[in-house]
Amino acid sequence: MKRVYETIGFENSWDTGNAKPRPSYRSDADRVDWEFYRSLRSDSRRKVFRSGHSFFAFGKDENGYLGGDSVEILSPDEEIVGACNTAGLSNDISIVLRVHHAGKSVLLPGDVEKLAWDNMVNFYGSRLKSDFLKASHHGRDTGYHLEALQMIRPVMTFVSVGRKPSTDASHKYRGQCQQALRLGFMVTSCSPLMTTEHGHGPLSIMRRHNPWIMFPETN
């Protein structure tokens, strides 16, 4: 985190109000990152967002009216934050984002599991509908929620971090989505477009300077 700040930089940080205790350090880098994280949480630029926040980033078209590209926060709400802090859990306190761009939407649920998914299904229902989904918790079974997936109805689900033999839910996503891709990453150069051929690779996702090329497994 500290290295990202030093090499790329960012203007503010988003916080959920979690009460996660200091972890066990595996290296000096862990200790440096934790201390930097604590400094961010005490910074005046720190922002605390809850479900229901939207149009705080972008959110306007070229004429200045609401309805352009935007970012919504769907979770957590105060109830989820309180429950996670009481139980000493952290996955369900992930900030769940839905990004709208060019008439399409991408749902990014972090590491949320059953508690947060239940809450979102009960509150949003069919309003969870999104075009693309990044599978929660790297595609592990703990992040899979059938009812939520049936509400989201994504055209494509992206499952990161490749195979996870004992916990992988890729086959479950494939049973509910038009396409579910398990991805590997490499950085290269490519043209500014998103393409896939028959659901197989490579899938090109353009960033302004350093595009990603993703090679989905086909089995």
- For position 43, what pLDDT does the model report? 85
Q: How confident is the model at residue 180, as a pLDDT?
A: 58
Q: Which residues, other chains included, contact 177 with Cβ-Cβ below 8 Å and sequence gap of 6+?
A: 133, 149, 154, 155, 156, 157
Question: What's this model's pTM, rounded to 2 decimal places?
Answer: 0.76
Q: Could you list the mean pLDDT of each consecutive 10-residue stretch along the chain, which spans 219 residues? A: 90 85 90 93 82 67 72 91 91 92 91 96 93 91 94 87 75 74 40 34 42 39
Helix axes of 78-87 and 114-124: crossing angle, nearest 10 degrees: 160
Buried b (16+ CB within 10 A) or exposed e, 20-54: eeeeeeeeeeeeebeebeeebeeeeeeeebebebb
Rounded Cα distance, 113 and 137, in Å: 8
List 97's β-bridge partners, or say none: 73, 108
In sequence order, what are the residues at sequence separation of 6 or more whose Cβ sits closer than 8 angstroms to the Cβ of residue 186? 212, 213, 215
pLDDT in tens, 28-82: 999 999 999 999 998 887 888 778 776 556 666 667 676 678 888 899 999 999 9
Measured CA distances, 79 to 53, 115, 120 (Å): 16, 11, 12
C-alpha torsion angle, residues 29, 32, 35, 40 (rounded to 10): -90
